[in-house]
Amino acid sequence: MAVVDNPLSGLEAGAVLEAAARAGFELVDFETPEGITIWEWRQGSGPRPQFVTRRVALAWMQELLSREPARRAS
Protein backbone atom coordinates (compact mmCIF):
# COMPACT_ATOMS: atom_id res chain seq x y z
CA MET A 1 0.00 0.00 0.00
CA ALA A 2 1.59 3.29 -1.05
CA VAL A 3 1.43 6.23 1.31
CA VAL A 4 1.79 9.68 -0.22
CA ASP A 5 4.09 12.02 1.69
CA ASN A 6 1.44 14.70 1.96
CA PRO A 7 0.41 15.84 5.46
CA LEU A 8 -3.31 16.02 6.16
CA SER A 9 -4.86 19.28 7.26
CA GLY A 10 -6.55 19.38 10.64
CA LEU A 11 -9.97 19.03 9.01
CA GLU A 12 -8.84 16.07 6.91
CA ALA A 13 -7.26 14.41 9.92
CA GLY A 14 -10.50 14.88 11.86
CA ALA A 15 -12.49 13.34 9.00
CA VAL A 16 -10.14 10.33 8.88
CA LEU A 17 -10.42 9.85 12.65
CA GLU A 18 -14.24 10.07 12.48
CA ALA A 19 -14.46 7.62 9.56
CA ALA A 20 -12.06 5.25 11.31
CA ALA A 21 -14.16 5.41 14.49
CA ARG A 22 -17.29 4.55 12.47
CA ALA A 23 -15.38 1.52 11.15
CA GLY A 24 -14.52 0.52 14.72
CA PHE A 25 -10.91 1.77 14.83
CA GLU A 26 -9.25 3.87 17.50
CA LEU A 27 -5.90 5.63 17.09
CA VAL A 28 -3.85 5.47 20.28
CA ASP A 29 -0.30 6.45 21.10
CA PHE A 30 2.05 4.98 23.66
CA GLU A 31 5.69 5.22 24.60
CA THR A 32 7.99 2.23 24.33
CA PRO A 33 10.48 1.42 27.11
CA GLU A 34 13.10 3.08 24.87
CA GLY A 35 11.15 6.37 24.89
CA ILE A 36 9.80 6.16 21.32
CA THR A 37 6.21 7.26 20.71
CA ILE A 38 4.25 4.72 18.68
CA TRP A 39 0.88 5.34 17.02
CA GLU A 40 -1.33 2.28 16.77
CA TRP A 41 -4.70 1.59 15.18
CA ARG A 42 -6.83 -0.68 17.38
CA GLN A 43 -9.94 -2.56 16.33
CA GLY A 44 -11.04 -5.28 18.71
CA SER A 45 -8.58 -8.14 18.88
CA GLY A 46 -7.48 -7.73 15.24
CA PRO A 47 -4.02 -6.78 13.99
CA ARG A 48 -2.75 -3.46 15.34
CA PRO A 49 -0.74 -1.61 12.67
CA GLN A 50 1.88 0.61 14.29
CA PHE A 51 3.55 3.78 13.04
CA VAL A 52 6.30 6.08 14.27
CA THR A 53 4.40 9.23 13.24
CA ARG A 54 0.76 10.24 13.57
CA ARG A 55 0.87 11.64 10.03
CA VAL A 56 1.76 8.27 8.53
CA ALA A 57 -0.82 6.48 10.70
CA LEU A 58 -3.53 8.84 9.42
CA ALA A 59 -2.41 8.51 5.80
CA TRP A 60 -2.43 4.71 6.13
CA MET A 61 -5.97 4.74 7.52
CA GLN A 62 -7.12 7.16 4.82
CA GLU A 63 -5.83 4.71 2.20
CA LEU A 64 -7.44 1.73 3.97
CA LEU A 65 -10.80 3.48 4.22
CA SER A 66 -10.68 4.48 0.55
CA ARG A 67 -10.44 0.77 -0.32
CA GLU A 68 -13.31 -0.32 1.96
CA PRO A 69 -16.15 -0.06 -0.61
CA ALA A 70 -14.18 -2.27 -3.00
CA ARG A 71 -13.65 -4.88 -0.27
CA ARG A 72 -17.34 -4.93 0.68
CA ALA A 73 -18.40 -5.36 -2.96
CA SER A 74 -16.32 -8.52 -3.39
In this prediction, residues 11-34 reach a mean pLDDT of 94
Question: pLDDT (tens digit, 9 = 90+) per residue, 34-56?
Answer: 999 999 999 999 899 999 999 99
The Cα–Cα gap between 34 and 18 comes to 31
The β-bridge partners of 37 are 31
The Cα–Cα gap between 56 and 43 comes to 18
Q: Which residues of 24-49 are buried (b: 16+ CB within 10 A; e: fewer)?
A: ebebeeeeeeeeeeebebeeeeeeee
In this prediction, residues 50-68 reach a mean pLDDT of 93
Length of the chain: 74
Could you tell me the CA-to-CA distances from 66 to 20, 32, 72 in Å, in that order? Answer: 11, 30, 12
The pTM of this model reads: 0.77
